[in-house]
Structure 1
Amino acid sequence: MSEPALAPSAPSTRAPHRADLDGLRGLAIALVVVFHVWFGKVSGGVDVFLTLAGFFFVGSLVRAAESAAPLDPRPVLLRTARRLLAPLVLVLAATAAATVALLAPTSWLGLAEQGRSALFFWENWHLAETASDYLAADPSVSPLQHLWSISVQGQFYLAALLVVFGTAWLLRSRGVAVRGPITGLLAALAAGSFWYAISAEHPQSWLYYDTGARMWELLAGGLLACAMPWLRLPRALQALFGVAGLIAIVGTGFLLDGRHEFPGPWALVPVGGALAVIVAGGPASRLLASPALQRLGDIAYSLYLWHWPVLIFTLIALDRPDVGPAGGLAVIAVSLVLAHLTTRLVEEPIRRGVPSPRRRTLVAGVAALAVAVLAATSGWIMSIAGKSDEISHLADIDPAAYPGAAVLATGDEVPVRPEQPSRYVAHLDLPVTTADECLAGGGMVDPLRCEYGDPDGTRTVAVIGGSHAEHWFPALESIARDRGLRLETYMKVGCPVTVAAPDDEPDECTIWSGSVLGALAASPPDLVFSTSTRPRPDHVGGDWTPEGYVRMWERLSELDIPAAVVRDTPWLWEDGVIYRAADCLANGGDADSCGMDRTAVLDAVDPARDASAPLPTVYPMDLSDAVCRPDRCRVVEGNVLIYRDTDHMTTAYSRTLAPELDRQLGVSTGWW
C-alpha cells in the first residue's frame, strides 16, 4: 500500500476499492461463525465489523460533505436501506417459518417481539431490557439474538448521518472546511461513549447491547476514515501494524471473554487490531486480499444473518446442547449456501442493479414480505396481550378444582382440568413486588425497601435476595395477612444476598448485599427470610449451599437477627439444556413427562441442614415435598402450573404453598 498523502486530496464521494478490507470482513465473519458453532464464545469478529462499518460509512459521509453536491440525506438512507433490509427481511421471514414449524406456540411471543424489534433496528434495546446474556448457542437461546449488532449499526448510521450532514451544513454556510471540525466532534463523541462503556452503573447484560456503550467502536473506524488523508506511516510500520493487527483480531476469541468484558477496555484489542490492519500494508494486506477471504467478505453480511438461526434450529431439531464437529461443518455449509444465494439473488440485484422490471418485482416482493413479517409478529403479540386479563382472575380460582400443592399433602386426586395459569400467559403471573418495581435493577447497589402485609403488625419479616426469594413472596403475603405480620423486601434481580470471601473482588451483587446487611443492622427485623440452596454449577445434578450464603448467615447471627432460609425449588433442565414448562406442555408433553427425576435435581437431604447446623439462629426449611413427588418433580400439581419459565414459580402455585410454609415457619420460630 502506498503512503497516504499528508493533506486531503480533491474531494471524492467514493473511496478507492481495497481488496484487503473485503478480506478483513471475510476473516471477521469466519471468526464469528467458527466461534459460535464450536467454541460458544465471542470471537471479536463483530467488533471488527462495527469498526469497519464506522470506517466506510463515516468516510462516505465526510467525502460527500466535502464535495460540492447538495447535502441530501435521502440517497444515503435509500442506499443504506437497500443494503440492510432485503437480506434481513428474508432471514426474519425464514426464522418465523422455522419457529412455527419447530417451536411450541408458547415460544412464539418472545421471538415475535424480537422479530418486530429487529425489523425496526431496535433489537439490541429489547435484549437489554429483557436482560438477555449473549449466550453460547444451545436450544434455549433465541435464533434472533445475534441481530443486536445490526440494530446498533442501523442506529449509528442514522445518528452519524444527522451529525455529519448537520455539522457540514452549518460549516458550509460559513465557508469553513468540514473535515477538521467533524473529526473533532466525532472524537469527543467517541471519548464520551468509551467513558460511558467503562463507567456506567449498568450490568454487563445491559451494556453489551447498549448503543451508547458500543458507539465508540464504530466511531473509532469513523475517526480513522477522517484522519486517513493526513496519515503518514513508514512502510516498516505498515507491515508491523498489519501483522500485529491480525494477531490481535485472531487472538481475541482465544484469550478474552468478550461476553463479559466487551464493550469495555478489552474491546480495544479487536477494535485496535482492525484499525491497525486498515492503515497497514505489506504481508497482512496481501494475505487479506486472497480470493477466499474476499469471497467470504462479499457474503459476510448475509452469512452473519443466516449462520445463527441455522445453528440454533439445528440444535433444536437435534435436541442437543452442541452440534459436534460433523454437525458444525453441516451448519457452516448450509449457512454458506444460503448466504451465497441471498447475496447473489437478493442483495446485489437490489443494491447494485439498474432499474428494471425484475428489480422492481424483487423490491416489491421484499416489501410484501416485510409487511407480512410485521403483521404476523404484531398479530401474535396482540393475541397474547388479549389473554393477559386471565392473570387478574387467578387469585379467585376455585381451590377445590385447583388445589395446587395441597394434593401433595393430602394425596387426594382431583379431576384434571386445563392448567392455571394458562401456558400461554404463565410468564405474566408475577409477584406484586415486580409490578411495584420493588426488585432493584442492574446498576443499583443501594437497598430498595418496600413494605407489605399488616402495617400495624407486631412482628416484621424482611424478605431478602433475588428473584428466587421473590417467588416465595405470594405465599408469605398470604401468611402475613392471616398472622398479622409486617413484610419488608430488599430484593434485586439476579442477586441472592451473599458475603464474599476476603480475597474475592466485590461485584455488584456483593456490594448490594453489603448495603442490605447494613440496612438490616440499622433497623433489625424480627426475622429474615431468604433462600438457602441453588442447583449445582453446570447442572451436574442435585443442589448445594454456596459458601457466600453461609457467610451471610454468620453475619446475621453476629447481628442477632434470626433467619428462616428455604430450599430453592428445582430448575428445569435436561441434558444440560434449560427449558420452559409451558413450551414442553405446548409440544405435547404432560405434567409428568415435562418434569424431572427428583434425584437428578435435589439431593436426598437438604444441603442447608448441615451448612446451617453451627448457627442456631438459622432455621432451614424444606418444602420440596410440596413441590415434588417422591420420585418426580412435575410441572403441574393440583391443576396449577408450577413454573412460569425455566426456574421461577408462578404466583398461583406459590399461593398454594402458604399452608405448608406457614406450618414450617411456626415450627421454626415458635411464633404460632
Structure 2
Amino acid sequence: MRVGDGWHEELDGALAKNNDVRGRLRARMLMPRLPRRAEPVRRVANSSVAPEYRHDLDGLRGLAIALVVVFHVWMGRVSGGVDVFLVLSGFFFTGMLVRRSEIKRTLLRTGRRLLPALTVVLVTVLGATAIARPYTQWGDISGQTLASALYYQNWFLAGAELDYLAPDPSVSPLQHLWSMAVQAQFYLVILVVVAVWARRSGQRMLLLAGLIGAGAVSFWYAAEGAAQHQAWTYYDSGARAWELLAGAALAVAAPWIKVPHSARAVLAILGLAMVISCGMLIDGASRFPGPAALFPVAAAVALIVSGMGTAPWVNRLLAALVLVRLGGLAYALYLWHWPVLIFYLAQYGKVTPGLQGGLLVVGVSLVLAVLTERYVETPLRQRGYTEGMRYRRGVGFVTAMAGVGVLVAALGWQAVLKANPAHAPEALDAVQYPGAAVLFAGAVAEPERMRPTVFEAQKDAPRPTSDGCITPNRDVRVCTYGDENAARTIALVGGSHSEHWLPTLEVLAAEHRFRIVTYLKEGCPLTLVDEPSYALAPFPECREWSVEVLDRLAGERPDWVFLTATRPRTDDGDTVPPEYLDIWSALSERALNVLAVRDTPWPRRDGVTYRALDCLAHRGTAYSCGIDRATALTPENPAAQPASAYPNVFPVDLTDAICRPDRCLAAEGNILVYRDEHHISASFARTLAPELGRQIGAITQWW
C-alpha cells in the first residue's frame, strides 16, 4: 500500500541531469528515495501542478502501520490504522489520476508496485501451510490464496461469515488481505470514473460532486449494514468505499482548500491525537465501517488538510526520518505481520504471543519487510540504470513464475477437492458405530474407521444448513420436518446450536409420530436486546427476528418449544445468559411450554474455540483433541436452578451422553463428535436420540 508513491514522479529529474552512469549511480545511493525522471505525461484538463511531496503523510503511514501491528500482536483489537490507510490510498491514487490520464500506464505501474511483494507472501504462506498446518486447512487456505491473488478476499471472508458450511476464517494467515482487495476494487472503479470525466468534461467540480455523492450513499449503506449485520458489512466494498472516497474527494478539492495556519495547527493536533487513541477508545472490529469509523477517517483527513501549506509542528514531527522510513515499509510490513503472528500462535498453541513472543513476531516481520522492500519492491520500481537491469529482470521473472506457481497450486488443490467432493456419511451401522451409546447405554465399540472423516465432517450437518431453512438474514423461514400430518408439534427455535439437534429430533419424530417446525437464524438464539452479553457485536437484526418469531409462536401454539438454555462462559464452565431468562419470561407470558436443552460443550483453549478435526488431522487423538469436562462444563446444569422459577420451562441435559466424567472426547463410539469448532455432527446427534427421547418422554408424557 505505497500510498505516497503517486507524488514521486512529479519530482523526477534530479538524477537524469548527469549522463555519466557512475555519477548517476552514486547520486542514487545518496538519495535512495528520489526516483529518476519519468517520461513526459499528458496533463488532464483543469488539473493542477502536483504539490510538493508530503513526507508527513509517509510518516502518517508509518504511524498507522505501527498501530496496526501493535494492536494486532498485543491487544487483539482493530486500531483504526487500516481506515487511515484507506483514506490515504483514496487521496494519493485519485490525486495521481486527475493529474495524468494514461490508464494503461497507471495500471502497469500499480501492478508493478503491488503484485511482486504480495506474490512473495502468498508463496511463503502456501508453502508454510503445506508444511506446518493440518491438511484439513489446505482447502480453505488455497481458496483464500486465490481470493487474495485475484483481489476478492473481502468477499470470500464476507461469504464465510454467512455460510455455515465454510471454515471459520478467524485464524487464517491471509485474513488481513481483505483491505488490499477493497483498495484494488476501488482503484479499478476510480480509474474508469476519472477516465470518463477527463474525456467528457474535465470539470473538477463535477467530479468532486460525484465523489461526494457516492461517498454519502456508501456511508448510509455502511451505517445500515453495521446496525444490521456487522460481520458481512465489515468486509463489504460498498460499505468501505466512503472511506476511500473521503480521500479521493479531498484530492480533487485540494486546489480550493485554504485553511489559516492556526486552524491547521489545531487540526494537526486533533488528528494526531485521534489516530493514536482510536484503537483504545473504539472497538473497530464490531463497529467499523459504520458511523464509528468517522473517528479515524476524520483524523486522517485533518492531518492531510493540516499539511496543505506551511507545515505545523505536528506535520513536521510526522516527517521525522524514522516514521518516514517505517512508512516506506508499510506495505511489506502489513503483508508480513499477520501471517507471521498466526503461524507463531499455531506453532506454539497460544492465544496471545505475550511480550517476548510479540517482540519476536514484530522483529521477524520487520526483517521480512525490509528484505522484501529492498530486494523485490525497489528493483522492480527503479528503471533506467544498466547495472541493475539484469537483477531487475531476474527478480521480475522469478516473481512472475512464483505468481503462476501460486495460482496453479491453489487452483490445483481446489480442482482436487472439486473432483473428490466430500459427502455426509449414509446411515451408520449401530453396532459398528454406536456413538453416544457407549456413554449412556454401555455399548462396546470395536475399532473402526472414524466417521465422518475429517474431510466429511463439515458436510455432516443438519438439513437446514443446506436446504435454506436456517436464514442468514431478517426473513423468518418456517419449515416442517418429521411427521407432517402428526397432531403433536415441537417448535425448534434459535440459532445453529438449536439446529444441530434436528437430526436427533427427526429420529424421535419417526418413532413417536410428531412434527418438527423450525424457526432458525444463523448466530441468533432468541433475544429481546440489540446487543446480548454473549455477542461480539451489536446484532439488532436478531432482536427484530426474535420478536417476530415470538409472535408467530403465540399464534401457531406448538405443544413444546425446543431451544438452548446455556452458553459457554468466557473462562471455564457454562452459564445461562440473562437474555435467555427474558425469553423464558416472554414464552411464559404466551403460555408456551419450553424444553430448554443444555448446550453442547465447546472445545476451546483459553476461551478460544478450535476445530477438533484439525487437531485430529495434525496427529492428534480423540482424547488429546478433546477438552476437560471441568473446562467445558460446570459441575451441575446451570439452567436447573433458574428454570425452577418458571413453571413452563423444563431443563434437558445430555452432557453425560456426550462427555465422560473427566473429559469430552473428539470422537466416541467411532463417530466424530464435532463437525467444526462447536457444532456436533449429524451422525453423532442421531446416536443421542434414545437418551433425548427418554428425557422428553418423561417431561411431556407423550410416550
Task: Quickly name the TM-score band, shorter chain normalised.
Answer: over 0.9
Asked if 1 retains the 8 angstrom alpha-carbon contact of 2:422 and 2:455, the reply is no
Q: Distance in 2 between matches of 1:452 and 1:417?
A: 32
Match of 2:568 in 1: 535
Pairing 1:303-342 to 2, within 5 Å after superposition: 303-342=333-372
Q: Distance in 1 between matches of 2:416 and 2:345?
A: 28
Q: 1:503 to 1:448 in 2, by over 3 A?
A: closer
- Determine which of 298, 302, 305 is the counterpart of 1:276: 302
How far is the alpha carbon of 1:380 from its aligned partner? 2.2
Q: Distance in 2 between matches of 1:28 and 1:344?
A: 21
Q: 1:211-263 deviations in whole A, cap 9, x for unaligned?
A: 00000000000000001011111111121111111111111111111111111
Q: 1:559-609 deviations in whole A, cap 9, x for unaligned?
A: 121111111110001233321111111111111111112122112221111
Q: Distance in 2 between matches of 1:139 and 1:164?
A: 35
Q: 1:398 to 1:11 in 2, by over 3 A?
A: same
482-491 vs 357-366, greater mean Cα deviation: 357-366
- Determine which of 378, 397, 402 is the counterpart of 2:428: 397
How far is the alpha carbon of 1:14 from its aligned partner? 5.2
Match of 1:64 in 2: 100
Q: 1:592 to 1:503 in 2, by over 3 A?
A: closer
> Which amino acid in 2 is paired with 1:253?
G
Alignment of 1:44 with 2:83, yes or no, is no
Match of 1:182 in 2: 207
Pairing 1:240-255 to 2, within 5 Å after superposition: 240-255=266-281
Q: 1:125 to 1:13 in 2, by over 3 A?
A: farther
How far is the alpha carbon of 1:647 from its aligned partner? 0.4
Q: Distance in 1 between matches of 2:322 and 2:680?
A: 52
Match of 2:619 in 1: 588
How far is the alpha carbon of 1:518 from its aligned partner? 0.8
Match of 2:404 in 1: 371
- Determine which of 243, 248, 252 is the counterpart of 1:222: 248
- Determine which of 41, 46, 55 is the counterpart of 2:91: 55
Q: Distance in 1 between matches of 2:591 and 2:455?
A: 45
Q: Distance in 2 between matches of 1:10 and 1:510?
A: 52
Asked if 2 retains the 8 angstrom alpha-carbon contact of 1:15 and 1:60, the reply is no
- Name the SS for the 1:388 alignment partner: coil
Q: 1:285 to 1:506 in 2, by over 3 A?
A: closer
- Name the SS for the 2:97 alignment partner: helix
> Which amino acid in 1 is paired with 2:441?
T
Q: 1:199 to 1:420 in 2, by over 3 A?
A: same
Asked if 2 retains the 8 angstrom alpha-carbon contact of 1:139 and 1:312, the reply is no
How far is the alpha carbon of 1:665 from its aligned partner? 1.2
279-288 vs 147-156, greater mean Cα deviation: 279-288
Match of 1:454 in 2: 483
Q: 1:351-392 deviations in whole A, cap 9, x for unaligned?
A: 23348333222222112111211222222223334443432x
Match of 2:25 in 1: none
Q: 1:168-211 deviations in whole A, cap 9, x for unaligned?
A: 2222xxxxx33121111111111110111112364111111110
Asked if 1 retains the 8 angstrom alpha-carbon contact of 2:48 and 2:255, the reply is no
Asked if 1 retains the 8 angstrom alpha-carbon contact of 2:423 and 2:459, the reply is no
Using structure 1 for the length normalisation, give the TM-score. Answer: 0.92
Asked if 2 retains the 8 angstrom alpha-carbon contact of 1:139 and 1:315, the reply is no
Q: Distance in 1 between matches of 2:445 and 2:539?
A: 50
Pairing 1:45-124 to 2, within 5 Å after superposition: 45-65=81-101, 72-124=102-154
Q: Distance in 1 between matches of 2:139 and 2:65?
A: 30
How far is the alpha carbon of 1:553 from its aligned partner? 1.6
RMSD of the TM alignment (CA)?
2.2
- Determine which of 249, 263, 287 is the counterpart of 1:237: 263
How far is the alpha carbon of 1:341 from its aligned partner? 0.8
How far is the alpha carbon of 1:15 from its aligned partner? 4.9
Match of 2:520 in 1: 491
> Which amino acid in 2 is paired with 1:185?
G
Q: 1:402-439 deviations in whole A, cap 9, x for unaligned?
A: 12112222323222122111112312222111111111
Q: Aligned residues: percent identity?
A: 48
Alignment of 1:256 with 2:256, yes or no, is no
Match of 1:388 in 2: 421
Q: 1:8-57 deviations in whole A, cap 9, x for unaligned?
A: 99746855321111111111111111111111111111011000000011
32-41 vs 572-581, greater mean Cα deviation: 572-581
Match of 2:292 in 1: 266
Asked if 2 retains the 8 angstrom alpha-carbon contact of 1:139 and 1:321, the reply is no
- Determine which of 186, 195, 198 is the counterpart of 1:165: 195
How far is the alpha carbon of 1:490 from its aligned partner? 0.7
Alignment of 1:20 with 2:20, yes or no, is no
Match of 1:360 in 2: 393
Unpaired runs of 5+ residues, structure 1, are 1-7, 66-71, 172-176
Q: Distance in 2 between matches of 1:293 and 1:30?
A: 9
407-416 vs 635-644, greater mean Cα deviation: 407-416
> Which amino acid in 1 is paired with 2:509?
A
Match of 1:628 in 2: 659
Match of 2:633 in 1: 602
Q: Distance in 2 between matches of 1:571 and 1:503?
A: 19
Q: Distance in 1 between matches of 2:49 and 2:332?
A: 26
> Which amino acid in 2 is paired with 1:53?
S
Q: Distance in 1 between matches of 2:472 and 2:155?
A: 15
Q: 1:663 to 1:166 in 2, by over 3 A?
A: same
Using structure 2 for the length normalisation, give the TM-score. Answer: 0.88
Q: Distance in 1 between matches of 2:532 and 2:359?
A: 44
Match of 1:205 in 2: 231
Asked if 2 retains the 8 angstrom alpha-carbon contact of 1:499 and 1:552, the reply is yes
Match of 1:4 in 2: none
Match of 2:702 in 1: 671
Match of 1:416 in 2: 447
